[in-house]
Structure 1
Amino acid sequence: MAYVPGTALLAALVVGCSSSTGTGGSAPDSKPGEATAAAAAPGKYRTLPDPCRAVASSTLKEVLPGAAELPEDQQKKVYKGAATVTYDTDRRVGCRWKSEGQDSSHTLFLDFERVVSYDPSVSDDDRAREVYAKKEEAVGLSSSSASPSSTTDTQTQSPSASAPGNDNADGETTTDGSTDGSTEDSTEDSTEDGTDGNAGSSGESLLPRTLDTLGDSAFLDDLLTRAGSTAQNRTVSVVFRTSNVIVTVEYTEQPSVSTVVPDSKELQDRAQALARKLVDRFSE
């Protein structure tokens, strides 16, 4: 056996230990006890409910009165609804119902959008606030300045909220072309409408406005347009945000007679009542 001096053996052991890269050792730049930046909190909702099953049959019978005139098998088909085709059902789902009556047709559309932030420094809720704010701006409202009272004297008809469609790269929405008519037509129709379609009891404002009692933030838009050359239809949209989910309710009525103007108050009341039930459903 070769003889190794004690000093040389000690030096070899020290070098061997200091150069070890075993899995149990700490990384050279690690700093024990140093806090790392925490990622932003995820949103409350990780999944979305089935929108075609989100509305009770009793509510559908109320908002789609023409279906009651149909044979039972056709009624079931109407109340079943048609799911919207989307690319990612974890992020976006929708459903549409339509009924044709003797006096008018009614269409109900629901859109559920779950907003996800891909920036670790921005929470899902904060990103959802940004997406929602753009929807408010699209109809001429803003959370900081608009309120039910402030819109009464300053607005007549606002452009309709962008109809829900497919997500783009930033999580924003694109229109699906569900509403016709230009701003000029809308202004003309609102003038013709006068107080019949826009005035409610007790002087309540029925104009586009923010809503204080739905979810974390909400607004309502009301648009009267012409379908073709004569027929008029009214679409009431209620949009609300709850945490990182944005819900859109669109309710449209088109009378069979061109001279009849859909009642604004009735449509708004029904749309808001449905939105409240959806808020409760998301809170369960």
Structure 2
Amino acid sequence: MAYVPGVALLVALVAGCSAGSDADDPDADSKPGSPTVTAAPPGKYRTLPESCRAVPRSTLKDLLPGAAQLPEDQQEKVYEGTATVTYDTDRKVGCRWKSDVPDASRNLSIDFERVVSYDPSVSDDDRAREVYATKQEAAALPAPGGATPSETPDGPASSSPGGKPAGSPSGTPSATPSGEPSGSTTGTDPDEDLRPRLLDELGDAAFLDDALTRAGSTAQHRTVSVVFRTSNVIVTVQYTEQPARVTEVPDSRELQEKAQALARKLAETLSE
């Protein structure tokens, strides 16, 4: 058969193109059985509630009893609340209320934080667990054996030593949470634990802190904080009372019950 230079060159070019076609195939270098990386699922919540409208008027009247004694126009101003200054209302919002009357003042604040993970391999929920665990660790809740519990991805667990003295809320080494001297049982239920602690059946994880402090010669004020996480949203409720008399001590039980009741209402609202 006669040798045709043009035909031979054409065959060589076709063969070269066929051999190099795999270089343009994105799957050509994939190894058999190599895992496929998929983005972590987003959190349940994409928006946050309007914070200053998140608490019903009836609840505000109960938490800020002194406001009912004010003139109507001042009452309205108290119940409207003051929104927290924030630069991204999709990520964090809050509201504050304050009631000042001659015998005592009460302050209420709520904050909503929507946690978003910018790492495609970490879900919003997992990132929210980390943020919540940091808050719980900062509270240094007391635990049996002096351990400080903190939330892990599998749930609450003891992780570090150095918790607060058992039987005392934060900032009160010499008093019980009810504000009575150590050893006194007057007006308290000895079976009721009012120490800072983890809370059950509130969101995915929750804890309560209770701090009694005095600034200079002023009356003691007590702040009860309830923090809970539900999916990728973390909610903080802070409820403070400061009596006008230096000798009076705010009662833990009342403040804790009301702060927890509000936190549970907010959790239900988020779940709707």
Q: TM-score range by the shorter chain?
A: 0.7 to 0.9
Distance 1:122-1:198 versus aligned 2 partners, 3 A rule: farther
* Aligned residue number for residue 6 of structure 1: 7
Q: Distance in 2 between matches of 1:34 and 1:136?
A: 39
Aligned AA (2:166): Q
**SS, match of residue 229 in structure 2:** strand
Deviation at 1:263, TM superposition (A): 1.3
Aligned AA (1:263): D
Aligned AA (2:12): A
Q: Distance in 2 between matches of 1:136 and 1:83?
A: 25
TM-score normalised per structure 1: 0.77
* Aligned residue number for residue 194 of structure 1: 181
Residues 119-268 of structure 1: pairs in structure 2 closer than 5 A: 119-141=119-141, 142=149, 143-145=156-158, 155-159=166-170, 183=171, 186-188=172-174, 190=176, 193-194=180-181, 200-201=188-189, 203-268=191-256
Q: Distance in 1 between matches of 2:187 and 2:125?
A: 36
Number of aligned pairs?
250
* Aligned residue number for residue 114 of structure 1: 114
Distance 1:116-1:200 versus aligned 2 partners, 3 A rule: farther
**SS, match of residue 201 in structure 1:** coil
The root-mean-square deviation of aligned C-alpha atoms, in Å, is: 3.0
Q: Deviations over 1:149-204 (max 9, x none)?
A: xx9x9613243xxxxxxxxxxxxxxxxxxxxxxx4xx3245596327799643621
Deviation at 1:29, TM superposition (A): 3.1
Moved more, 207-216 or 87-96: 87-96
TM-score normalised per structure 2: 0.80
| Pair 1:54 & 2:54 matched | yes
Identity %: 61
Q: Distance in 1 between matches of 2:252 and 2:100?
A: 19
Q: Distance in 2 between matches of 1:58 and 1:39?
A: 44
Moved more, 261-270 or 8-17: 8-17
Distance 1:33-1:198 versus aligned 2 partners, 3 A rule: farther
Aligned AA (2:257): D
* Gapped regions of structure 1 (runs ≥ 5): 160-182
Deviation at 1:99, TM superposition (A): 0.6
Aligned AA (2:180): D
* Gapped regions of structure 2 (runs ≥ 5): 142-148, 150-155
Residues 59-78 of structure 1: pairs in structure 2 closer than 5 A: 59-78=59-78
Q: Distance in 2 between matches of 1:277 and 1:112?
A: 14
Q: Deviations over 1:214-273 (max 9, x none)?
A: 111111111111133131111111111111111110000111111111111111110000
Aligned AA (1:156): G
Check conservation: 2:220, 2:246, Cα contact below 8 A: yes
Deviation at 1:132, TM superposition (A): 1.4
Deviation at 1:32, TM superposition (A): 8.9
Aligned AA (1:203): D
Moved more, 137-146 or 52-61: 137-146
Deviation at 1:34, TM superposition (A): 5.7
Check conservation: 1:197, 1:264, Cα contact below 8 A: no
Higher strand share: 2
* Aligned residue number for residue 174 of structure 1: none
Q: Distance in 2 between matches of 1:261 and 1:76?
A: 29
Structure 1 stretches of at least 4 aligned residues deviating more than 4 Å after TM superposition:
16-22, 30-35, 188-192, 195-199
Distance 1:4-1:77 versus aligned 2 partners, 3 A rule: farther
Aligned AA (2:53): R
**SS, match of residue 144 in structure 1:** strand
Q: Deviations over 1:83-132 (max 9, x none)?
A: 11123222211111001123211100111111222232222212211221
